[in-house]
Amino acid sequence: MPLKIFWTLNMYTDLYKKINKACCFITVFLGDEKISEGTGFSLNEQGQVVTAGHVITGRFPLLKKDIEDPNVKIFVKFPDIAVLEYKVVFCGFNIECEGFNEELQLDISVIHPKQETHETFPYLITTSGSPDLGEEVFLAGYPEELVMSFDFANLMKEDIKGVKEFKEAMNKGFIADMMGPLIKRSVVGNLRKLVSRNDALGLSVETASFYADNGMHSGASGGPVINRNGEVVGVITQRSVTSASQSNDTSLKVPAGSTICLSLGCLPVANQILNGGS
């Protein structure tokens, strides 16, 4: 029994270290103004990153004008790797269904380094399959609940040499070096699948929206959902909310304590469409 317990703990330690290295902090600027920040994860050695679409645009639904704005700059910071500027491969995956008033938009994006780099990036293996109901998973991201130990960033004197540069660096993602992502264990508590086919193009998409029964807060959007085998089975899209209706405010919503995630079933189809030039 002691050997079994040690093996289990060691397995999670190795998995957490792998997740920590492959997650990145994303900041998006419109000119000099930071309009969005969130989490992403690398899916290959070239540093191609998956994240939530709204992390790139700063809002949802995803709008083409936000993605194509030449004044938008996307910066990505991996632990122990210099900040790199990225460009959008695709942002949002729209599915047109008969009987729907409008297209269904999946909140997912893939971005790539803007300039060629000789870095070899740590990455996570992805799977297009969905997790099972009741399956244990791990959520990783840079939520706003993470604060720097001892609050020393706010205690530093502004007139000390290097403090200004330090804070500017933190604003572009150096939290990845200082802290790393927060990783939580969870269980898939609810899952619903969507299957869509286009027979004319020979394309089929199976994706799932699922709830993990542990809460991740703002900033963790775009982070990976990983199974016990170390495979990414989803991306964090939003925290769930529930009504806290009161007589003077019937629309009040509060965090519900769980996280909404999206499986990666659209990624192979997106790759097929992009390679086909459509």
> What is the per-residue DSSP string for 203-227?
EEEEEEEEEESS---TT-TT-EEEE
When pLDDT is averaged across residues 219-225 and rounded to a whole number, the result is 95
Residue 8 has pLDDT above 80, yes or no: no
Per-residue confidence (pLDDT) for residue 154, from 0 to 100? 62
CA separation for the pair 153, 200 (Å, rounded): 57
How do residues 51-102 score in pLDDT, each as one tens digit?
Answer: 999 999 999 999 999 999 999 999 999 998 989 999 999 999 988 877 778 8
d(CA 108, CA 90): 8
Residues 6+ apart with CB under 8 A from 63: 57
Q: Which two tokens stand for residue 226?
A: 């990983």
Give the tens place of pLDDT for each residue, 168-220.
656 666 677 778 899 999 999 999 998 888 887 788 889 999 999 998 888 89
Q: What is the pLDDT of residue 170?
A: 60
- Which alpha helices (DSSP H) does the chain contain, by range? 2-22, 53-57, 64-68, 152-155, 163-171, 175-178, 267-276
Q: In this predicted structure, what is the pLDDT of residue 101?
A: 83
Q: What pLDDT, on a 0 to 100 scale, did the predictor assign at position 77?
A: 93
Give the pTM.
0.85
Whether the predicted pLDDT of 152 surpasses 80: no
User: What pLDDT is recorded for position 205?
Assistant: 87
Residues in Cβ contact with 203 at an 8 Å cutoff, skipping those fewer than 6 apart: 197, 269, 272, 273
Question: What's 149's DSSP letter?
Answer: G
Distance CA 217, CA 259 (A): 8
Write the pLDDT tens digit of every residue in 111-130: 999 998 989 999 999 999 99
What are residue 195's phi and psi, to 5 degrees? -120, 125
User: In the prediction, which pLDDT does 168 show?
Assistant: 62
